[in-house]
Amino acid sequence: MAPYLNLQGNILAAEAIIRSGTEDQCRRFLTPTASGEMLWCQLFSEPGAGSDLAGLGSMATPTAEGGFLLNGQKVWSSNAQFAEYGILMARTDPDAAKHQGISFFLLDMSLPGVEVRPIKQMTGDQEFCEVFFTDVDLAPDSIIGRPGDGWQVAMNVLLDERGSFGAAGVISLEHELDNLSQLGKNEGSLGPVAADDLASLVARGHALKALLNRLGSAPEAAPAAKLLRTEISAATSHLAASMRGADGMLNDATTQDLLYAPGMGIAGGSSEIQRNIIGERVLGLPREPR
């Protein structure tokens, strides 16, 4: 079993298959995914597209046999070096409108032409990967939904991903707040500035917990949960390091959390993107000029 929670499989791939897949795809993938026998990765982001998910350049060209020939590159694919399958967005119609020429695939990572290159992070880990596709032969039954429906399938997947910050976030947030409060007790006299920062952060955490409990699985909860949860986690890491001072440099957990924190503001949709979604789709504010 790979050393990570199979979020990409249990939440993202499974939900996409249940919502948009065929009966055969459900029978083939859901049970081994739920049991942890089948691990997944997410193949959405690309080097040249940034946060413009619809700007992807990976091409899945239809073949005479009814399948597709895949070429392109993905990046920041979590734990792709362990995954047996990946959920993939690729352009199948280069002449269609930007959001309409995309299809959604279930990719067998063992296929010829798939190359995975782990990326070494400043934490020392290799959680993320680049994935390259060279003439990868995709079977006709590897597509989810119809050709060109991939954008809507992917948007539901992203809603599931961001919403998981709320669903699973309540429990992990409680644990994080308990640890932070215990840290304050262990450090003894914190001084007025650190004590005020600690009290403010604990209050923000409990307010977010109440918000997550109230909104539950409502669609508007997903971007808010993702944004606020990652911001509190980053602030917690910085405060814990500050409270420990120079001793924090000798604590592996403190160092790991501090170095990892900035990435959570990017993973699953950057904080800037979440603010745009909240402003435009939840609050109904005018869209940014394009």
Q: Which residue among 161, 174, 187, 220 is the active-site one?
A: 161
DSSP state of 288: P
Task: Report whether 208 contacts 173 (CB < 8 A).
Answer: yes
DSSP state of 146: S
Conformational region of residue 231, where left means phi above 0, alpha means psi within -120 to 50, and beta covers everything else:
alpha
Q: Supply 273's token pair.
A: 């993107």
280 is catalytic: no
The contacts found for 10-13 with CB under 8 angstroms, 24 or more apart, are: 10/34, 11/160, 11/161, 11/164, 12/40, 12/42, 12/87, 12/157, 12/160, 12/161, 13/40, 13/85, 13/87, 13/106
* Angstrom distance (rounded) from CA 83 to CA 4: 11
Among residues 16, 13, 136, 17, which one has the least CA distance to residue 72? Answer: 136
What stretch of H or E contains 178? helix 169-186
Residue 136, strand partner residues: 70
**Which residues are catalytic, by number?**
161
